[in-house]
């Protein structure tokens, strides 16, 4: 979210990643699309793209990104909806939920409902991919605050705190710009590969697999992310 070079990294990822290779014309939903970094590259790959987010500010940024695309304005549908309630029965071939946009609700059942909603919104044969910071990955580096420099000279410090015996995480950010500092904080559920896998199965998905990156590599000791993919039969 904060890295100044993330847009280029995402564009390259979407252009080349085997896990993001779908048939041309696939209807792809970016659920919790945020500032829209995935939208333009997904459209450039030949997909029909919809972005859903709850935040009007994020949707504005996403719209601006689509309007200012290098190859000309990109036709993407943007919708303001809450993932807790959003369903569009059989409307999508692929639903992506990336960059740890899952597990935000205080009640575990609500997070499960998001998976059920995605299942309903997929056409038969459609796939859901959820990309989070897996509990196992986080355990490898938690405790070390991280700082990210932004292009305008400001920087963000991120600090994570484990809550409720590794069930949840609190992430605190401090944005330092010149003499001023602003803070933000979110709490979210943490998932191991086995936990998220089993939630997918309980939500009705089949052929559920875990990966450690969008190349389709295994989720193991060298992974930086946890990606779970399931299919609606
Ligand atoms: C970590 S950001 C990731 C954004 C984007 N996927 C990306 O890769 O940059 C999480 C996003 O989820 C959105 N969000 C949070 N709660 C939501 C909800 N209940 N329904 C829909 N979007 C939500 C936020 O507005 C934010 O844009």
Residue 196 DSSP SS3:
helix
DSSP state letter for 18:
G
**How large is the average pLDDT for residues 36-65?**
97
**How large is the average pLDDT for residues 79-85?**
98
The fold of 6-134+190-231 is: Rossmann fold (3.40.50)
- Could you tell me which residues are beta bridge partners of residue 25? none
To test ligand 1's pocket by mutation, which of 8, 34, 169 has the most ligand atoms within 8 angstroms of CB? 34
Ligand 1 pocket, residues with Cβ under 6 angstroms: 1, 32-35, 37, 53-55, 58, 82-84, 98-101, 104
> How far, in Å, CA of 122 to CA of 27, rounded?
9
pLDDT the model gives residue 110: 98
CA of 162 to the centre of ligand 1 (A): 21
CA of 24 to the centre of ligand 1 (A): 26
Q: Name the residue at shortest CA distance from atom 17 of ligand 1.
A: 54
pLDDT digits (tens, 9 = 90+) for 4-31: 578 999 999 999 999 999 999 999 999 9
CA of 30 to the centre of ligand 1 (A): 10
**How large is the average pLDDT for residues 89-112?**
98
Average pLDDT along the chain: 95
pLDDT digits (tens, 9 = 90+) for 167-190: 999 999 999 999 999 999 999 999
DSSP state letter for 172:
E
CA 221, distance to chain mean position in Å, is 21
Examine the pLDDT at 223 and tell me if it is beyond 90: yes
Sequence ranges of the domains in the chain = 6-134+190-231, 136-188
Is there a contact between 170 and 161 (Cβ–Cβ < 8 Å)?
yes
For domain 136-188, the question of CATH label 2.60.40 is answered with: no
CA of 135 to the centre of ligand 1 (A): 19
Examine the pLDDT at 162 and tell me if it is beyond 60: yes
pLDDT the model gives residue 4: 56
């Amino acid at each position: 979210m904060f890295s100044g070079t993330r847009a280029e990294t995402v564009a390259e990822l979407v252009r080349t990643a085997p896990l993001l290779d779908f048939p041309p014309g696939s209807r792809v939903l970016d659920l919790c699309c945020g500032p829209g970094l995935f939208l333009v590259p997904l459209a450039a790959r030949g997909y029909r793209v919809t972005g859903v987010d709850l935040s009007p500010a994020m949707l504005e940024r996403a719209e601006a990104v689509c309007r200012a695309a290098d190859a000309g304005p990109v036709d993407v549908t943007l919708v303001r909806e809450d993932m807790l309630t959003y369903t569009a029965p059989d409307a999508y071939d692929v639903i992506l939920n990336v960059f740890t946009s899952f597990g935000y609700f205080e009640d575990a059942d609500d997070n499960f409902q998001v998976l059920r909603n995605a299942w309903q919104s997929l056409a038969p044969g459609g796939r859901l991919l959820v990309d989070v910071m897996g509990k196992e990955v986080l355990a490898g580096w938690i405790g070390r605050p991280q700082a990210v420099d932004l292009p305008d000279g400001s920087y963000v410090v991120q600090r994570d705190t484990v809550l409720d015996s590794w069930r949840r995480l609190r992430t605190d950010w401090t944005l330092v710009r010149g003499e001023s500092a602003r803070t933000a904080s979110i709490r979210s559920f943490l998932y191991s590969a086995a936990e998220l896998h089993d939630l997918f199965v309980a939500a009705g998905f089949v052929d559920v697999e875990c990966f450690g990156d969008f190349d389709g590599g295994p989720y193991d000791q060298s992974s930086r992310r946890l990606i779970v993919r399931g299919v609606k039969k």
